[in-house]
C-alpha cells in the first residue's frame, strides 16, 4: 500500500514517528542516505557471506578427511571379530580333543593410547560439525538482514540503522570469527590425533610429523602475534584479535 505525506509510521522499538513523503516528491538527501547505508550493508553482508561460504567449503572437505581417519583408528576401540572367531574355534578344537584344561580367553581391553588418539579425532569432528551448523545459521541471519526493507526512504534509514546497530549489539562479527576459530582448533586437534596415529605405524614418520607440526604452530602463533605489536601488519585474524585484546593493555 502506498504511503502519503499525512501518513505516519511508528518505530515500534524506539517510538519514533517516521513520515513518508508523497510518491511524486523528490526525496533528495533521504535517497542519498539510503543508498549509502544500503551500500555499507551490502558490502558487509557480502564479505561475511563470502567468508562463511569459504569456511563451509573447507569444513565439508575437512569432515571427509576426519571421517576416513576415524573409520581406521576407531577399530582399535572395538574387539577384533576375527580374533574372537579364532579363539572360539580354538576352544572348540580343544574340547573335541578331550583337553581338560583350557586357558581362559582374555576379555577385550582398550588401550589408553587408543582412547586418547580417538578422543582428539572425535573432538575435531565435533568442532567441525558445530562450526558448520553455526555457519548455516549465520547465512540465514544475514539473508534475513537484507529482506523485508520498507520502500519509504525516510523509514528505510531508520530500519537500516536499527538493524546495523543490532549486528553490533548481538556480536555477529564475533560469531563469524568464532567459526574460523573453531575450525582452526579442529585442525589442531586433528593434527595431534594424526601424529599420535603415526606413532603406532612408524617412529620415523612420527618425528617427521612432529617437526612439521611444530613449524606450523610457530607460523600460526607468529602471524597471530605480529598484529598485536604492529597495527600496520596485515596478518589480522580472529586469534590475533583475541591476543590484541588480552595483551594490548600491558604496554
| Domain shared by 162 and 208, yes or no | no
Contact present, 205 and 214 (Cβ < 8 Å): no
pLDDT in tens, 151-161: 777 787 888 88
Q: How many domains does one find in the chain?
A: 2
Q: Please tell me the pTM assigned to this model.
A: 0.74
pLDDT in tens, 134-175: 999 999 999 988 887 777 777 878 888 888 888 888 888 889
pLDDT in tens, 221-251: 888 888 888 878 888 887 888 788 777 777 6
How many residues in total does the chain contain? 251
Residue whose C-alpha cell reads 548455516 in the numeric block? 136
The string over 203-231, giving b where at least 16 C-beta atoms fall within 10 Å of a residue's C-beta and e elsewhere, is: eeeeeebeeeeeeeeeeeeebbbbbbeee
Distance CA 21, CA 61 (A): 52
- 10 forms beta bridges with 17
**1 part of a folded domain:** no
| Domain shared by 50 and 126, yes or no | yes
Which domain does 215 fall in, by range? 202-251
Q: According to the model, what pLDDT value does residue 163 have?
A: 85
**112 part of a folded domain:** yes
**Domain end position, chosen among 136, 154, 186:** 186
**242 part of a folded domain:** yes
| Distance from the first to the final alpha carbon of the chain | 59
**195 part of a folded domain:** no
What are the residue ranges of helices labelled H in the chain? 29-73, 81-96, 112-145, 153-169, 172-201, 203-229, 238-247
Distance CA 2, CA 21 (A): 10
| Residue 79 backbone dihedrals phi, psi, to 5 degrees | -60, 145
| Domain shared by 88 and 63, yes or no | yes
If one counts every other C-beta atom within 10 angstroms of the C-beta of residue 180, the result is 19
| Domain shared by 161 and 73, yes or no | yes
| Domain shared by 172 and 248, yes or no | no
**Domain end position, chosen among 159, 186, 213:** 186
**179 part of a folded domain:** yes
**191 part of a folded domain:** no
| Domain shared by 151 and 244, yes or no | no
Distance CA 236, CA 39 (A): 24
pLDDT in tens, 40-69: 888 888 989 999 999 999 999 999 999 998
| Domain shared by 30 and 83, yes or no | yes
| Domain shared by 85 and 135, yes or no | yes
**Domain end position, chosen among 138, 160, 186:** 186
Distance CA 77, CA 122 (A): 13
| Domain shared by 146 and 239, yes or no | no
| Domain shared by 172 and 239, yes or no | no
| Domain shared by 119 and 166, yes or no | yes
Contact present, 43 and 163 (Cβ < 8 Å): no
| Domain shared by 36 and 146, yes or no | yes
- 212 forms beta bridges with none
pLDDT at position 1 over 60? no
Distance CA 208, CA 188 (A): 16
**61 part of a folded domain:** yes
Distance CA 11, CA 175 (A): 28
- Give 98's pLDDT tier (boundaries 50, 70, 90): low
pLDDT at position 91 over 90? no
Q: Give the three-class secondary structure for 68.
A: helix
**117 part of a folded domain:** yes
Distance CA 20, CA 5 (A): 5
Amino acid at each position: 500500500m502506498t504511503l502519503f505525506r499525512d501518513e505516519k509510521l511508528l518505530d515500534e522499538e524506539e517510538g519514533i514517528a517516521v513520515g513518508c513523503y508523497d510518491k511524486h516528491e523528490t526525496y533528495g538527501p533521504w535517497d542519498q542516505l539510503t543508498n549509502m547505508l544500503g551500500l555499507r550493508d551490502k558490502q558487509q553482508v557480502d564479505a561475511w557471506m563470502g567468508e562463511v561460504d569459504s569456511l563451509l567449503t573447507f569444513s565439508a572437505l575437512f569432515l571427509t578427511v576426519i571421517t576416513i581417519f576415524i573409520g581406521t583408528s576407531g577399530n582399535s576401540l572395538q574387539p577384533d571379530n576375527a580374533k574372537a572367531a579364532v579363539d572360539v574355534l580354538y576352544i572348540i578344537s580343544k574340547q573335541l580333543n578331550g583337553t581338560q584344561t583350557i586357558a581362559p580367553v582374555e576379555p577385550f581391553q582398550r588401550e589408553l593410547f587408543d582412547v586418547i588418539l580417538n578422543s582428539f579425532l572425535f573432538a575435531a569432528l565435533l568442532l567441525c560439525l558445530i562450526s558448520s551448523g553455526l555457519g548455516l545459521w549465520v547465512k540465514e541471519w544475514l539473508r534475513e538482514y537484507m529482506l523485508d526493507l520498507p520502500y519509504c526512504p525516510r523509514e528505510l534509514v531508520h530500519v537500516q540503522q536499527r538493524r546495523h546497530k543490532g549486528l553490533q549489539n548481538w556480536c555477529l562479527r564475533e560469531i563469524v570469527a568464532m567459526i574460523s576459530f573453531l575450525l582452526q582448533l579442529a585442525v589442531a586437534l586433528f593434527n595431534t590425533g594424526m601424529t599420535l596415529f603415526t606413532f603406532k605405524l612408524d617412529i620415523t614418520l612420527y618425528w617427521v610429523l612432529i617437526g612439521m607440526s611444530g613449524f606450523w604452530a610457530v607460523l600460526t602463533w607468529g602471524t597471530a602475534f605480529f598484529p598485536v605489536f604492529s597495527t600496520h601488519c596485515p596478518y589480522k585474524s580472529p586469534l590475533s584479535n583475541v591476543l590484541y585484546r588480552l595483551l594490548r593493555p600491558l604496554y
